[in-house]
A = this chain, B = another copy of it.
Amino acid sequence: MKRYEQYIRKVVPYVPGEQPHFSDMIKLNTNENPYPPTPAVQEALQSQQGECMRLYPDPTAHQLNAAIAKAYHVEEEQVFTGVGSDDVLAMIFQTFFNSDMPILFPDITYAFYPVWCSLFRIPYEILPLNEKFEIVPEEYFRPNGGIVFPNPNAPTGIALPLSDIERILQHNAESIVVIDEAYVDFGAQSALPLLEKYENLIVVQTFSKSRSMAGERIGFAIASKKLIKVLHDVKYSFNSYTMNHSAIVTGAAAVADEAYLQKITAKIVSTRENTKKVLSGLGFVFPNSKSNFLFVTHPDLDAHALFKALREEHIFVRWFDMPRIRNYLRITIGTDAQMEKLFAFLQHYLDTQKK
């Protein structure tokens, strides 16, 4: 063994999430939006000149940040953008979570929080959701080095009321509290209105879900100017140019079309509510999701067996090999037509099982 091999960073090898490609597939496994982005994105793509590519992109991503600021009624100095909300969240962890006290997050939540803690050597404490898979605000009233959770939480889809988020903020004036709102546009209350009162709050959102832009990798944080300035300082100190020209122009175009966002999220919410009725009728049980996915279980079915049966039919959903949730499936809300195919398969599968 060469000496350099001893000094290679040790990681748990990870296979990126399945991105299957079948012409007939129904892809309900990564919470993508079944509808295309606003036509304004197509126009922005077409309007790009190869000539623009020769220059470095604007390191401040001014065009994009200004468009986000306008859409969310904040100042541009309150906006930080990154290569997907993963990049934004990782930068927040690296910038703000340097205490010896553990940061707090739920046991069932976004899988990358513990990964970034390990990467940046951040101590953390996992707080269990209650038996209904809800975040218990009182659990977060303890000394900590920071707090982070998604709202709605993933993969449960359960939203915490704004009043509970405010209680957590009231008990944590000395900590940075990060609310990861990847799925907020599908029916939860955003914590953005709390920014005026709480300088320690950071709200993170993404273009990957409600804005149908997963392919362009755009996430953002909105917080006080003070915290956003620090994030920029840290980012510029080691990587000035993260947002490419295409992401800046298409992102700016996407965020300007509020009407389209309302239209497609309303469609998805409507499909979700119908899906709840149908799946209930089939005997499935699930928390009351406010996101673009349902987290379902069935008293008579083995979730992993069902997951594999769905795969056979080229219907892709997500199964987690984790304590407490091994008998659940996370199903992204697709189009009505896609969900109808899912319902038909599930009906058939249940009939077969009963024989």
**Residues of A that sit less than 8 Å from B by CB:** 2-4, 6-9, 11-17, 19, 27, 30, 32-39, 41-42, 45-46, 48-60, 83-84, 86-87, 90, 94-99, 112, 115-116, 119, 145-146, 173-176, 199-200, 208, 212-217, 230, 233-234, 236-247, 250
Contact = CB atoms under 8 A, between A and B. Distances in A.
Interface pairs A-B: 7 shortest CB-CB: A246-B246, A42-B50, A215-B245, A16-B59, A3-B174, A11-B237, A54-B212
- DSSP class of A's interface residues: helix, strand, loop or mixed? loop
A237 B6 CA distance: 19
Given A16-B60, A214-B241, 16 more contacts: A7-B99, A9-B96, A9-B234, A16-B236, A19-B56, A36-B50, A45-B45, A45-B48, A53-B214, A115-B238, A119-B237, A216-B244, A217-B241, A217-B242, A246-B246, A246-B247
A119 B59 contact: no
5 contacts: A11-B237, A55-B214, A84-B241, A217-B244, A244-B247
B57 A217 contact: yes
A175 B3 CA distance: 7
Nearest to A62: B19
Contacts of A246: 45, 216, 244, 246-247, 250
Given A4-B176, A50-B39, A239 B87 contact: yes
A57 B16 CA distance: 11
Contacts of A90: 238-239
Contacts of A8: 95-96, 98, 230
A33 B56 CA distance: 10
Nearest to A51: B36
Among the interface residues A9, A53, A99, A116, which one has the most CB atoms of the partner chain B within 10 A?
A: A53
How many copies of the chain does the oligomer comprise?
2
Contact of A7 (B46, B51, B145, B239): B145
Contacts of A33: 54
A307 to B, nearest CB: 20
B116 A238 contact: yes
Contacts of A245: 215-216
A115 B233 CA distance: 13
Nearest to A34: B54
Contacts of A96: 4, 7-9
Nearest to A96: B8
Contacts of A230: 8-9
B15 A236 contact: yes
Given A9-B95, A234-B9, A59 B17 contact: yes
